[in-house]
Amino acid sequence: MRNERPSRGQSSDSAEGGRRPFPKRKVCRFCKHKELTIDYKDARALRPYLTERGRIVPRRISGGCAKHQRMIAEAIKRARNLAIIPFTAINI
């Protein structure tokens, strides 16, 4: 019995190819809707870009482009320094 390897087009894992399909690419909200702005004074708009622990959400999860992700991070840091947004999670 010979141990045969599958050719490049075939997969030994499953009949469907064994590869995980790529998820749909997230689109930057700020590029899509030009009327949206990033403002450090608007804490409600910055909340989706923070975790429940108060950390800044990375680009691959938030879906923002590099330019807008830098602007979001800067706005969050400014809001933290002015005590608009807490640095860490609030423990009750």
Q: Per-domain residue ranges for the chain?
A: 29-81
In this predicted structure, what is the pLDDT of residue 27? Answer: 86
Cβ–Cβ under 8 Å, residues 86 and 77: no
The pTM for the full model equals 0.71
| Residue 76: alpha-carbon gap to chain centroid | 15
Please, which residues have CB within 8 angstroms of residue 19's CB and are 6 or more apart in sequence?
11
In this predicted structure, what is the pLDDT of residue 21? Answer: 83
Q: Which CATH architecture has domain 29-81?
A: Irregular (4.10)
In this predicted structure, what is the pLDDT of residue 66? Answer: 95
In this predicted structure, what is the pLDDT of residue 11? Answer: 52
Which residues of the chain fall short of a pLDDT of 50?
none
Q: Rounded distance, CA 45 to CA 76, Å?
A: 10
